[in-house]
Each structure stands twice: as structure tokens, then as C-alpha cells.
Structure 1
Amino acid sequence: SNTQYTVIESYSEHDFKVEMSVSAHARKQDPSLPECWQARLVLYPEPMGPGKIKGLLCSLDDKQVFGAQAILDVYFERWEIENSYGEIKHQMLEDSILLRSQTVDGVNQELWGILLAYNLIRVEISRIAKEAKVSPLRISFVMALRDIQDEILWCAIASPGSIPKKLRAMRERVKRYILPEKRKR
């Protein structure tokens, strides 16, 4: 919201080619930087409120290949991927470096195991959301993860016939952790 720019070319009401000054501090750090640089600015069509994201700056300047809506769509997809990485790193791995393998094949196997576990949790969240008739995004990943971890430990000592009953009970518990609807970003 406080970025200063000059519009060089207008592609549409919300899509522009802009020019911005490179700060004196940045040029002092790297004298080879130009005085100005150009980028594409895609603004959101709806006001996002104070302190919210108003638009995106990017280097994808071919408006024929990269339409404004396509850029916004890719940003949202990237945002969801970043959230997933965050859930894996901070919640599942608890910010620890967990890869212990000494070989490339071992590291690959560990990474596949982490991704598989993450996707299995997401599948279970999807099933819980379907039963609760809400979006899977409204089920708390952290609470689902913790309940699933606990249930796996209990299932290890349970009789095989009781596991489906335990999973149904877990799904009912996780429904208590339905988050409020997210406001539109």
C-alpha cells in the first residue's frame, strides 16, 4: 500500500506496467543496480480493506500469455502450497531437522514418508469435513494431527476389530475443532 510507482502502461483497469525507483540504500549495497526498475502490477478488483494486500508485483510482463486473473489464481495456489509446507515444517516436524539418512535413497524415502503422512492426514480431514458438511479448510490441521497421532498410538495396542470404532470416535472428536469460516483474502 505504500509502494511508490509510476504507471508506464495500462493493460486494463487492474493490470499495469509500472516503474519504481531503486532505493539509495540498495544502490549503495550494489552499485550495479539501475536507478529504476519495471514490473507488472496486478490489483485486486475488490477492495481488501486497510492493511490488506491490494495487489501483486511480478516480472510476468507478457499480458497475452499471463492474464491478470491467471496471475491472481497462481498466487492463491502458491499461498496454499506455502501453508502446506508450513504445516509440515512447524506442526508435523515441530521445527526440527528430522532427516537422519546418510544416503540419497534414504533421504528420498524419508521425504516420501513425510509427504505420505501429510496427505493421509489431509485425506482424513477431508472425510471429517464431508461428514460435518463443511469445507476441509475449516478443520484444524493441528488438532486433527494431534488426534490422529494419539489414535495411532492407541490402535497399536488395541484389538484389530476395535480400530474402525476408534476411528469413528476420533472423527467425532475432531468435529469439535471446526474453525470459523475464513474471510476472503
Structure 2
Amino acid sequence: MDIIFASNNYHKFIEMESILKPHQITLLKDFQIDEKEIIESGLTFEANAQIKARAFAKRFNQVAIADDSGIIIEAISPLPGIYSKRYSGLGDTVNNIKVLDVLKNKENRQARFVCAIAIAFPDGKIFTYVGNMLGNIALNLKGSMGFGYDPIFIPDGKQETLGELGSTYKDEHSHRRHALNNFLEAKDEIIDYWRYTWKK
């Protein structure tokens, strides 16, 4: 099954591709829409993932998959939340520094990564799945692997950040992995819709 990857985020593409490829699902990544055409006006991760997936499915008349993800920090919830990518407005490193600064005098450092995956058909049908990864915010930036908030996020049961643990660990345990696992559990239903309803 071929699905358009509705994003230009290379890191997300690599992570998704490594998880989906063994299940005979091929991501097609050379389909682009000007980001200005997609207004992520949703108030939840699920809503924003659906907006992106629908836009690509409609434009290219093909099944599309999109994700919206971020980090929710208990002490300042619901932030960064759906604003995770643009929390500081100055990129990943400054986002991380801002979080560390905000939490400087707070005891509660619990956090969770959230990922919503949406699979949209050109006819408007959409399937949505959510995954979480629980953990805590580190005291300092640690590790150079990964992206986003990985250098300050310590998964439950670990002492290292995702930035130190690297892609092998992340591919098996991340919020995106959990969301994609939920998608894969429902894969037969989606493929049946693709074959017997939309393709008719």
C-alpha cells in the first residue's frame, strides 16, 4: 500500500519509514504543498494531523498520512503542546533552553510526548490514532541525537535523554511508534476500505 507522506520533515519521514516498511507500506515523500496553504487551526494534535492529511489527500487524489506531535509538560500544561515546534519561535535549541528556564524552580518535571497520526482518503474518510511516551524533563541538555525536545526528555525507566539513547531506542519506544502501532493494528480495516470502497 502506497501512502503520501504529508510533511517535509525529514526526521519524521525516516522514523515512520523504518517502522512501516516491514509491513508492506511505502511512504511517498516527494509530494509537497506550500505550508502557507495548510492552516493548522486545530486545538488538538488529532485535529491538526487531520487537517494536514486531508489537504494532501485532496490535492493529490491519493491516500495521505500526517502526524502532529509535541510535548506536554505537567507543570506548565497545556504548553508547549500543539505549539511545541514554535514554542520559542527560534528553533529546537532555544525551545529546549526555554523549557529548562521555565522549569528552573519547579519540582514537578513530568512530561509526555504525544503523537497523533491521521490517514486520510480523497473522499474525506479519515482514520486517527494517538500514542504517548511518558517521562521527565532533564536538568540540562544532554545528547546530540534525535531532534526537537529529545535532548531534554528522559523516558520513564531510563536515566539518559532521548538525545543520548539514539534512534534505535526511539524507533521502538517513541510516541510515534505507539501511534503507528495502533495504526498497524487497524491496518486491515484501512486496507479493506482502500480496496473495496474508495477504489470502486
The two structures share one fold, judged by TM-score above 0.5: no
Report which of the two has the higher share of strand.
2
- In terms of fraction of residues, the more helix-rich structure is 1
Larger Rg computed on CA atoms? 1
Normalization by structure 1: what TM-score?
Answer: 0.24
Q: Using CA pairs below 8 Å that are at least 6 residues apart, which structure has the higher relative contact order?
A: 2
Q: TM-score, normalised by structure 2?
A: 0.23
